[in-house]
Structure 1
Amino acid sequence: MASLGLLAPYAQDVRSSRGRRIAEDASPIRRPYARDRDRILHATAFRRLNHRPQVFIYHEGDHFRSRLTHSLEVAQIARSIARALRVDEDLTEAVALAHDLGHPPFGHAGERALDAAIADAGGFDHNAQSLRVVTKLERIYADFDGLNLTWETLEGLVKHNGPLRAEEAPIAEPILDYCATHDLELDSFASVEAQIAALADDIAYTAHDVDDGYRAGCFTFSELGRIPLAGRYLDELDAAYPGLEPARRLYELKRRLITAMVNDVLEETRKRLEHLPSQSADSVRAAKQAMVAFSGPMRTELDALHKFLFGRVYRHPRVMRIMGDAEDIVVELFERYARDPGALPPEWREEARGGDPRASARHVADFIAGQTDRYAIAEHRRLFDATPELR
């Protein structure tokens, strides 16, 4: 990354970091945010993202995105934006890589199932679960549970989509529980670096859901071309490369969509940063609006594209049928583990048998949330006579 002296004044300066919850000796070769990034990359929870889907189940094809490949794409886009804005690339990348660690098997279908299953124990939210993973559930270090990440990375993980304010929307119980002893200042914005990670997530999933959705047969180029943002670049490609084969046409479209979104974010963000009352990281956190954002016209075009993807990909009958079956798998696994803790692995049984029903339910949800798709399917086959094929 750039020398600290070359960082913009609104960047998060690692020298003013609030540090780690548990003090550690400094590394002689890596700055704190780089250590955070590396700890996330080496975490068990990060590896498990390889067999969790974005939209399509892992066995539907080797070329569809998983949560792991999505996270890597988000990190690449985020780092490019961070470099252009002269902010801390390591912190940006750490938040980008960690943002999906809390997703359970089968993505949002699994999240809905777990949220309903533990509604009386505070519910389930994947962002809150990401915090639990990096502060409690990842148990690989001798001196502490979790990864002992810096305050700024934890702040970014929890608030990358904006402040959490109870008067605007309920705050997930695990986040409130954690902040009771380690305050992440939920009512303020996160750093520019964390905000970049959030927009990079939007950019990545928009582009790759177009890619995956087309290759899955959810729509045609002709149908996609009716959406202004995509149609504009399809027309450009047809003019420059008439008769281009579909695979190249699709990739070139994705490239242009990503470039257009990144350039728009950079232009809009620079405008907003110019109007900060003071050019500092604290001023970013105290601002009345996000500093990293799409322009109004781009947001309008993206809304139209997302509406198209929602109807043609996320609510495609095949996707809905598979995710409905996947949701049933998670519900049945939870009910079985909760009723019979002996069905859990030995190291998970004792706490599931605890006297507090809320804590036991959360514990079972933690176990399921850590499963990959294929492990959840294997567990269901082990415990039940019939398991949906998810095809």
Structure 2
Amino acid sequence: MSSPRQSETIPVVEVLTPALQLPAGYEAEDAERVVPEQHSSIRSDFARDRARVLHSSGWRRLAAKTQVLSPTAGIDFARNRLTHSLEVAQIGRELAVSLGLAQDVVDTACLAHDLGHPPFGHNGEKALNEWAADAGGFEGNAQTLRLLTRLEPKRFAPDGTSIGLNLTRATLDASCKYPWSLSEAPAGSGKFGFFADDEPVFRWLRESAPARVKCAEAQAMDLADDVAYSVHDFEDAVVSEFIDPEILTSRSGHSSLIEAVSEWAGGSYTTDELGAAYDRIAESSNWLVRWDGSRRHQAQLKNFTSDMIGRFARAAIHDTLEAADGSPLTRYGASIVVPREVRAEIAVLKGIVAAFVMASGRRQPTYRRQRDLLLELLEVLWESDGNELEPAFADDYRAARNDAEAKRAVVDQVASLTDQSAIAWYKRLCDVPLV
């Protein structure tokens, strides 16, 4: 693969020094950066990527952003986006070891995968997407790429353009869960990997990649995210008493629950498949029949999550290696294979949490207040002509060539906020007491 072509928005110069020894299966172009760098330390390019994400301000902010329950809710044991990302990285690294993928590439992609999420999780994502509908919308994964390649201050191109963390091509590609634009997104999904003005860097990182195909490292990150999301959110929902194991065990309203899970999964599985998946999960020796918060029950629940993680990972590793038949998996060598039965089991755990937490009637007023808060905050910031934005975002606002670019600067500002800072900004700028 040749070096990337010169671009007005992505200036690239010749490689200055040879890369350190790369892991087996990786080539020099995988370690290329938009702007090449010289370093004196012995750290590998991929290890350097990982360190840059860990030391970024965007990553630290994840500690105060919603995973399922907001850090502002007063439940101090529930996961936030940062602890979730650490758990995803742990699972992803183990998958990488077993599958022969670069551990630092998968680890970094896992650490970075939620960087673009705004305050209040997916609920906040909906609010930002609604407000920016006429400016390209909003999608957390596309925002992750924007943050890594533009917003997070670390490196600049020769023309003074911010290029974010200037990560390697392999790491950026591994962080891209949806390698397509909004116009190319599957009908009804709303999921895409880059905004229009970030297309040049997307084209660079995807140079010679098969269209719309995730590299194996991104697939490993995606699987690790699914596994962590399914088991750990279930655990948090039990501990916070949104889910009562006795109701699950008694099968009270079981048919309705499976129907709700099926609806949440978008009809990807039949109710028979989901019912059978539920039965397999409930056969675990650590399945809780009741919850009293005792250390014994806490340990049993923790061991249940460990059982499920091991079960899902082992099945995927076995089927992936069997399908690869000795071929290297790195980059686009092969695909991660997850048995349909396992995907159904993951969908069941996710769907149970969705039914008892996200779709819970008692949560809806909170979700509405969160969306209204962000929508009003966005509007006030827009009307301020950039004067209330932080300096970096204010510079972007003033440099905007049209309303769409100016709105994007406002969205970038709000997306960067934590749950607590969004509330504080709302109180300061909107002058409306929260009820």
TM range (shorter): 0.7 to 0.9
Partner Cα separation in structure 1 for residue 390 and residue 368 of structure 2? 26
| Aligned position for 1:328 | 372
Q: What amino acid is aligned across from residue 332 of structure 1 in structure 2?
A: E
Q: What amino acid is aligned across from residue 255 of structure 1 in structure 2?
A: S
Partner Cα separation in structure 2 for residue 104 and residue 368 of structure 1? 7
Quote the offset at 1:189 in angstroms: 2.4
Taking a change above 3 Å as real, the CA distance of residues 55 and 262 of structure 1, as seen in their structure-2 partners, is: same
Taking a change above 3 Å as real, the CA distance of residues 330 and 293 of structure 1, as seen in their structure-2 partners, is: farther
Q: How many residues of Structure 1 are paired with residues of Structure 2 in the alignment?
A: 371
Write the mapping of 1:51-66 to structure 2, written as runs, cut at 5 A: 51-60=64-73, 61-66=75-80
Residues 263-311 of structure 1, C-alpha deviation per residue, up to 9 Å, x if partnerless? 1111121122228xx6464653xx6xxx213212212222333322221
Partner Cα separation in structure 1 for residue 186 and residue 23 of structure 2? 38
Residues 222-252 of structure 1, C-alpha deviation per residue, up to 9 Å, x if partnerless? 23445324311156778xxxx9832122111
| Aligned position for 2:241 | 217
Quote the offset at 1:205 in angstroms: 0.7
Partner Cα separation in structure 2 for residue 167 and residue 236 of structure 1? 38
Partner Cα separation in structure 2 for residue 15 and residue 216 of structure 1? 48
Query: Would the aligned equivalents of 1:6 and 1:86 in 2 still touch at CA under 8 Å?
Result: no
Q: What amino acid is aligned across from residue 328 of structure 1 in structure 2?
A: D
- Unmatched runs of 5 consecutive residues or more in structure 2: 1-19, 252-277
| Aligned position for 2:88 | 74
Write the mapping of 1:134-213 to structure 2, written as runs, cut at 5 A: 134-141=148-155, 144-158=162-176, 160=177, 166=184, 168-169=186-187, 172=192, 174-180=194-200, 182-183=203-204, 184=206, 185=209, 187-213=211-237
Write the mapping of 1:261-280 to structure 2, written as runs, cut at 5 A: 261-274=312-325, 279=328
- Unmatched runs of 5 consecutive residues or more in structure 1: none
Q: What amino acid is aligned across from residue 194 of structure 1 in structure 2?
A: A
Taking a change above 3 Å as real, the CA distance of residues 195 and 351 of structure 1, as seen in their structure-2 partners, is: closer
Write the mapping of 1:251-266 to structure 2, written as runs, cut at 5 A: 251-266=302-317
1:343 and 2:423 aligned:
no
Higher RCO, Cα 8 Å, sep 6+: 1
Taking a change above 3 Å as real, the CA distance of residues 44 and 224 of structure 1, as seen in their structure-2 partners, is: same
Quote the offset at 1:346 in angstroms: 4.4
Residues 78-122 of structure 1, C-alpha deviation per residue, up to 9 Å, x if partnerless? 001111122210111011111000000111111111111111110
> TM-score, length-normalised on structure 1?
0.86
Residues 162-189 of structure 1, C-alpha deviation per residue, up to 9 Å, x if partnerless? 6668274577584443333543247142
Q: From 8, 15, 19, give the equivalent of 2:32.
A: 19
More displaced stretch, 93-102 vs 140-149? 140-149
Q: Please give the secondary structure, in 1, of the residue aligned with 2:93.
A: helix
Residues 116-166 of structure 1, C-alpha deviation per residue, up to 9 Å, x if partnerless? 1111110001111001101110113466430001111111222x3566682
RMSD (CA atoms) = 2.8
Q: Please give the secondary structure, in 1, of the residue aligned with 2:431.
A: coil
Quote the offset at 1:258 in angstroms: 1.1
Amino-acid identity (%): 32
